[in-house]
Amino acid sequence: MIAEISENAGVEHVAGDDVVRRVRRVYVRGARSSLGWRVADVLGELPALEVVVGSGDAPAVPALGRFDVIVDVGVADHDLLGRRGASVTAGAHDLLVDAHTLGVDRLVVLSSAMVYGALANNPVPITEDTVLRPDTTFVYARQLAAAEEAIEAWRVGDPGRTVAMLRPAVPLAADGTSSIARALTAGFGRRFGEASPGAQFVHHDDVASAVTLAVERELDGVYNVAPDGSIPGDQVRALSGQRFRLPLPDRAADVVGALRWRFQRGPIPPGLGPYTREPWIVANDKLRAEGWSPTVTNEQAYVEGTEGKWWTMVTPKRRQEIALGGMIGGIVVATLIGGVIGRRWWRRRDPR
């Protein structure tokens, strides 16, 4: 059963039949993105849950009654926060206010693996007990770590409270990739050789299944959400179809990237550069131990989420054939043009 809170905080039933037996009531906050609606849809398919979806702008109201759990997909939604002119920490504060208003002591929160930070000395892979070291120049990641700290303080404030904090890798899907995810996919693979780090991409469907598992099993604690392993940097570059670029020192690359972003000529905002140059590969063992398993690989999620160019899916042999054909075609065209120019030059020399 799914209901939606409209902008004026009224309730509109979208789908579902009356359920005689008692169901657990779930309030989904911030479901105004492809990922958010996917989470709400998957939760709504469970017969034992009544799902109420918040608009992300209107606060929860006491008239909605009590809920068993709040699922928040808006705290880490960079695009939603940007449209509202809000910060991540303000979003976390609103979440805790809603928890008090609706009488909820269980939260499932979508955060991001970016809170670990992108550093050369990061363990590979990163486990959930790793200290958070978000890049200080990237405000979004720093605020997200602060929001997690505030939510954890709320959890330990009462022994009856639980929080499942989910930290997905870069979430991608064909029907709605966030601006942060697009910037990251554009930046991965720009280093060459051994210096290019690996990358992880998780499909929206797998993130939604992780949220569903957290609700069903009443998980408590931090859980990374990512496929098995990662894609090596050179393979990311091959999938992206990027042409060779002269590599720049990191500081110079950051300056160039900031200028390109300022004048809308580049995809990477200031502060995000380290996340495309250093490793932040996470382990998924803890979530797997609870019964979750990814259904989409890193490569599949990347290709679908970035709408990979057609030549990235062509076999190396076929690429050679296409390149050879293009070279021959170019020679033929050059020969024809040269013949035309030669005849005109000869006519000018010979008045007959």
Q: How confident is the model at residue 28 (pLDDT cuts 50, 70, 90)?
A: very high
DSSP-assigned states of every residue in 8-70 = TS-EEEEE----SS--EEEEEE---SHHHHHHHHHHHT-TTEEEEE--SSSPP-GGG---SEE
Measured CA to CA, the distance from residue 29 to residue 35 in angstroms comes to: 12
Note the pLDDT tens digit of each residue in 221-252.
999 999 999 998 778 777 765 554 545 555 55
The pairing of strands 106-110 and 170-172 is unpaired
Residue 19 vs residue 201, higher pLDDT: 201
Q: Model confidence at 344, in pLDDT bands (50, 70, 90)?
A: low
pLDDT average, residue stretch 122-151: 93
271 CB neighbour count, 10 Å cutoff: 19
Backbone angles phi, psi at 29, to 5 degrees: -100, 140
Within 13 Å and on the Cβ side, how many CA atoms surround 268? 19
Q: Range with the lowest mean pLDDT among 104-113, 192-201, 270-279?
A: 192-201
pLDDT score recorded for residue 113: 96
Q: What CATH architecture does domain 2-313 belong to?
A: 3-Layer(aba) Sandwich (3.40)
Q: pLDDT tens digit string along 294-327?
A: 999 999 999 988 864 433 434 444 445 445 555 5
List the chain domain ranges. Answer: 2-313, 315-352
Strand bridging mode 69-72 / 24-29? parallel
Residue linked to tokens 């890193």 = 298
Residue in 5, 3, 23 with CA at minimum distance from that of residue 13 = 3
For residue 265, give every residue at least 6 positions away whose Cβ sits within 8 Å of its Cβ, in sequence order, or none. Answer: 259
DSSP states of 297-336? -HHHHHHHHHT--GGGGS-HHHHHHHHHHHHHHHHHHHHH
User: Who wins on pLDDT, 336 or 38?
Assistant: 38
Q: What percent of the chain has pLDDT over 90?
A: 43
Q: What are the start-end ranges of the E strands in the chain? A: 2-5, 11-15, 24-29, 49-53, 69-72, 106-110, 162-168, 170-172, 201-203, 221-225
pTM above 0.85, yes or no: no
Backbone angles phi, psi at 25, to 5 degrees: -100, 130
Lowest mean pLDDT among 37-51, 118-132, 312-326: 312-326
